[in-house]
Amino acid sequence: KVISDDIMQSIKSFFLIYIFVFIAGVMIITATGLDITSAIGAVAATLGGVGPGLGLVGPTQNYAFTSSIGKITLIICMLLGRLEIYTVIVLL
């Protein structure tokens, strides 16, 4: 079955927004002083809801050491991941 151009455009838009949010989250978390591996793991775990992260937020650690800005960023990532990005955009 052929996928229409409108559907392909919607998929591309969602993917690009998701990647943008992921990269922005990693950059903010890295700016708070966390190493890149832990930042990627933390954002992937919260945005994707995939369980424990990597590095300092791995399966034997927690998020207690992150700064307030880092926690707020991860809360936003978790909301975007659990509610889906388009839903949050519509709610705003």
pLDDT (tens digit, 9 = 90+) per residue, 33-66? 999 999 999 999 999 988 888 888 888 888 888 8
pLDDT (tens digit, 9 = 90+) per residue, 17-42? 999 999 999 999 999 999 999 999 99
Domain ranges within the chain, ordered by starting residue: 5-91
With tokens 């978390």, the residue in question is: 29
Collapsing DSSP states into helix, strand and coil, what is residue 47?
helix
- CA distances for 78 relative to 1, 49, 64, 67, angstroms: 35, 7, 16, 16
What predicted TM-score, i.e. pTM, was given to this entire model?
0.87
Burial class of residue 12 (count of CB atoms within 10 Å of its CB; 0-12, 13-18, 19+): exposed
